Chain A
């Protein structure tokens, strides 16, 4: 029974790995993008009221 089902087991673990890698990459790229955008806005002189005070 085991050997013939290797493909199903492998596919399950690959899918799990893809979910973790995908979510991690998405979080890292989003963090970089927001930080870069925030830095650009602050360079143009934009400040939140709490920081400006």
Chain B
């Protein structure tokens, strides 16, 4: 772990891992889609509409997992000052926002035919909306502060404050009376989903996660390059001679 605190070593590792995770993700999603559309049965109550579950649930899991990853990275920034921790945080935020938005939109598309409404202000839906807004806030703060080091520390504090929402999202269906159904996969007493639907769901979730890892590594690689460009740009600006006739700077 500490060995890869060196960005150059990390870039070398990312170069090898990105295609592996992207390929694995594409393969798992392809197998998952085959199982979803040609093998998994329709639900006895929801009919074919249950197929929305296979994209909605992995997106929801990734939306929460990504924020947990950001919170862990925030600890890395504030406590260990790991050089790649805030790089990880910055690269994860747009991915988390995208998957949380996907969760909200597919949830709405599932809710309309099943519940008769696109949206209700119940605890699960509202806390996921708050999660999406937290991602937007984190991205806005990154863009508001120019220096990456200062921005990283400010974002880390905001991320840790926002992490209180993650258990609220997870347990909202247990703590409050919600229209959203309670947990049916990761719960005490085992999954309530039949194996014929559970396996395609887990394979799709594995594919989404693998693709997420590839995208996160690619985002981290881009952020490292962006910081190198910034550093080299500043060095180049310092070295360039002042144009003739330029007014001299006055030092107090």
Contact = CB atoms under 8 A, between A and B. Distances in A.
B212 to A, nearest CB: 9
Contacts of B225: 31, 34-35, 38
Contact of B113 (A5, A35, A44): A5
A9 B52 contact: yes
Given A8-B113, A23-B98, A34-B222, A48 B49 contact: no
Given A27-B218, A31-B222, A46-B235, A5 B48 contact: yes
Interface residues of A, number: 33
A12 B235 CA distance: 48
A12 B48 contact: no
B215 interface: yes
Interface stretch (B99-107, B138-146, B183-191, B241-249): B99-107
Contact of B47 (A1, A16, A44): A1
A15 B222 CA distance: 25
A24 B231 CA distance: 26
B129 to A, nearest CB: 17
B49 A9 contact: yes
Given A8-B110, A9-B51, A13-B55, A41 B232 contact: yes
A44 B236 contact: yes
Interface string A1-29: 11011101101110110011011101110
Given A2-B47, A15-B102, A30-B222, A41 B113 contact: no
Contacts of B42: 2
A16 B102 contact: yes
A35 B52 CA distance: 39
Contact of A12 (B55, B101, B215): B55
Given A8-B52, A23-B95, A31 B221 contact: yes
A38 B236 CA distance: 12
Contact of B222 (A24, A27, A42, A44): A27
B59 interface: yes
B218 to A, nearest CB: 4
A28 B42 CA distance: 38
In the complex, which of the residues B46, B56, B106 has the most CB atoms of chain A within 10 Å of its own CB atom? B106
B150 interface: no
Contacts of A15: 55, 102, 105-106, 109
Given A5-B49, A27-B215, A27-B219, A34 B102 contact: no
30 contacts: A1-B46, A1-B47, A1-B49, A1-B113, A2-B49, A8-B49, A8-B109, A9-B51, A9-B52, A12-B52, A15-B102, A20-B211, A23-B98, A24-B215, A27-B215, A27-B219, A30-B226, A31-B222, A34-B222, A34-B226, A34-B228, A34-B229, A38-B228, A41-B236, A42-B232, A45-B236, A46-B232, A46-B233, A46-B239, A48-B235
